[in-house]
Chain A
Amino acid sequence: MKSLEIRNLQKTYFDPYAGTKVTAVQDVSLDIREGEFVSVVGPSGCGKTTILNMVAGFLPATGGEIRVGGRPVKGPGADRGVVFQSFALFPWKTVLDNVGFGPKMRGVPKAERDRIAREYLALAGLSHAADRYPNELSGGMQQRVGVVRALANDPDVLLMDEPFASVDAQTRMTLQEELTRIWQEKQHTVLFITHDVGEAVFLADRVVVLSKGRVMRDIPVTLPRPRVWDEVTEDEDFKRLSAEVLHMVRAA
């Protein structure tokens, strides 16, 4: 587990259709402590996914700095695990081999990485699906695999890009609860991108509201853990925080 520091991050690119320079991220600074869960929320076009792509190393930044555990980020790397909105499982690999992919890249022998993969699959209640191919699974199950695949590689920082946006509402709540449970067990440093205000508050230690490529507010969430929806929905703090964040996002 390591900290994530984002300093004066900036991204501008040339839009060939409009023929102008577009600023996606204007000036974002954000620190995430070791083992802290931070949600970044904002309306579409606020630059939140661009930030994640730069932290992951998929996109070069045009300004500023990103550090993981003090070391500057250069390109994609196994120190930052990514969970994608569209799952991004390898369709030609079984669930077991998808989850064992990271350890395989580290040179872990087959028997040992299968053991690791099975351990993480059990954590998400997926032991029965180990030998299946991703296209045989429902969306919710595919994303469980996506999450444990990132976790099984034991990253310093976990980056999640609207991971539950493409599953149905019931499954989404289950996945959110599972994620908080697993997070409490493993205590990863998490950067979680979402446009869903309730989700952002439910999961995080801090909610960062983004607007037009800038950090608008940074709000601590002190709800007790473990969190389950049945209790949290009734919680006065949760209601107040959600309303507050929603108000800011809509004004953004």
Chain B
Amino acid sequence: MATAELGAARLGPSRAMRRVVGAVTFLLPLLCLFLLWPVVTTAFDVNPRVFPGVGMVWAALVESVRDGSLFAHIGASLGRVLVGTALGILVAVPLGIAMGVSSGISTFLTPLFRFFSVLAGIAWIPIATLWFGYGFGAITFVIFNAVFFIVTYNTLLGVSAIPMRLRHAAASLGAGRRAMLTEVLLPGALPNIVTGIRTGLGFAWRGLIAAEMIATNVGLGYMLFVARDFYRTEVIVLGMIVIGALWLLIDRLLLAPLERATIERWGLVTRS
């Protein structure tokens, strides 16, 4: 016990140190690219119609912040992601658990999931616009799709990775069907579910941008697509930077810590 506490004390500062080093090594290449950009555009005198200078993009940022259009696009995109993801998780987790518990259900549904996970995301855009029209419905459906299949599959994996002895232990301590679900299956599968959400959201984010180029009149994808019609490369590049940066923020500051928290806290589920 004493050695364990000593170990933890020794790990403390070095862990914080690793975080800082990790952040720096992650940001450094991005910073280099950013610094290289004005050097290249001035050295080769690049035509702004081909690629904009830093100043132009900065001006576009200031303008779109001032007139509120950037936040309107970001808000629309995030809203769709939020709704699509929430719906996807709500349907996927119960289904994944049902599949994990019943081998009959999972045997029957697995081939379907193999097939549809290939199609998940942007392949659904054309038919989604026929079903839901252009706008919120079609795009949210595409996101739902991307999240749904991956989260279902990961939930299934998570449930089937729970050792049978844990279910036995719960049953012999008096757990009924409902307690088995809330006390064993859900928490046991949670690390996999969170991993599934993280992966699914990655696909959903890409699908979102693609869908917004086709099926709407507001959103980050739409912002890029319209700017092209007016040869406004600075708006296109601004949009690309926002899309990438926003995803990195969501992934690094929200999803990765969540994943770490569930997995590290409990040790690996399979370990004990």
Which A residues form the contact surface with B (CB < 8 A)? 56-58, 75-78, 80-82, 84, 86-93, 101-102, 105-106, 128, 133-136, 142, 149-150, 153, 159
Query: Is the CB–CB distance between B265 and A78 below 8 Å?
Result: no
Chain A residues with CB under 8 A of B272? 86-87, 89, 91, 134-135, 142
Do A106 and B174 contact each other (CB < 8 Å), given the known contacts A133-B266, A135-B271?
Answer: yes
Most buried by B among A58, A92, A93, A106: A92
Distance (whole angstroms) from the CB of A211 to the closest CB of chain B? 26
Using A134-B267, A134-B272 as known contacts, say yes or no to A92 and B169 having CB atoms under 8 A apart: no
Instruction: Give the complex CA separation of A77 and B170 in angstroms.
Output: 9
Candidate in A80, A128, A135 with the most chain B CB atoms within 10 angstroms:
A135
What residues make up the interface of B, taking CB atoms closer than 8 Å to A? 1, 4, 163, 165-166, 168-176, 179, 183-184, 187-188, 190, 265-269, 271-272
Instruction: With both chains docked as a complex, state the minimum distance between the C-beta of A54 and any C-beta of chain B, in angstroms.
Output: 13
Known: A91-B272, A92-B188, A101-B183. A76 touches B171 (CB 8 A): yes
Complex Cα distance, B168 from A82, in Å, reads 9
Q: How far is the CB of B263 from chain A (nearest CB, A)?
A: 10
Tell me the bound Cα distance from A249 to B59 in angstroms.
Answer: 87
Some 11 contacts from A to B, beta carbons below 8 A apart, are A56-B168, A88-B166, A88-B168, A90-B187, A91-B267, A92-B190, A92-B265, A101-B173, A105-B175, A134-B267, A159-B172
> What chain B residues lie within 8 Å of A105 (beta carbons)?
173-176, 179
CA distance A142 to B169 in the complex (A): 14
Given A89-B272, A133-B267 in contact, is the A81-B175 Cβ separation under 8 Å?
no
Decide if B172 touches A57 in the complex (CB within 8 Å): yes
Beyond contacts A88-B166, A93-B187: 7 other A-B pairs, Cβ-Cβ < 8 A, are A57-B172, A77-B171, A82-B168, A92-B266, A102-B174, A135-B268, A142-B272
What residues of B have a CB within 8 angstroms of the CB of A78 in the complex? 172-174
| Distance A233 CA – B69 CA, assembled complex (angstroms) | 84
Q: Give the contacting residue for A153; candidates B4, B168, B174; CB below 8 A.
A: B174
Residues of A within 8 A of B175 (CB): 101, 105
Give every chain B residue within 8 A of A57 (Cβ-Cβ): 171-172
Q: How far is the CB of A47 from chain B (nearest CB, A)?
A: 18
A166 to B269, CA, bound (A): 19
Distance of A153 Cα from B190 Cα, bound (Å): 27
Q: Which residue of A lies closest to B190 (CB)?
A: A92
Instruction: Give the Cβ gap from B98 to chain A, nearest Cβ, in Å.
Output: 21
| A150 to B166 alpha-carbon distance, docked (Å) | 13
Which residue of B170, B174, B188, B266 has the most chain A CB atoms within 10 A of its CB atom?
A: B174
Shortest CB distance A154–B (Å): 11
Q: Which of B4, B163, B267 contacts A88 (CB 8 A)?
A: B163
Nearest-neighbor residue (CB-CB) of B4 within chain A? A136
CB distance from A7 to the nearest CB of B (A): 21
**What residues on A are CB-neighbors of B165 within 8 Å?**
84, 86, 88
Enumerate chain A residues within 8 angstroms of B269, measured Cβ to Cβ. 91-92
Whether A81 pairs with B172 at a CB distance below 8 angstroms is: yes
Nearest CB in chain A: distance from B222 CB, A: 42
Contact yes or no, A81 B188, CB < 8 A:
no
Residue pair A102, B188 in contact (C-beta under 8 Å): no
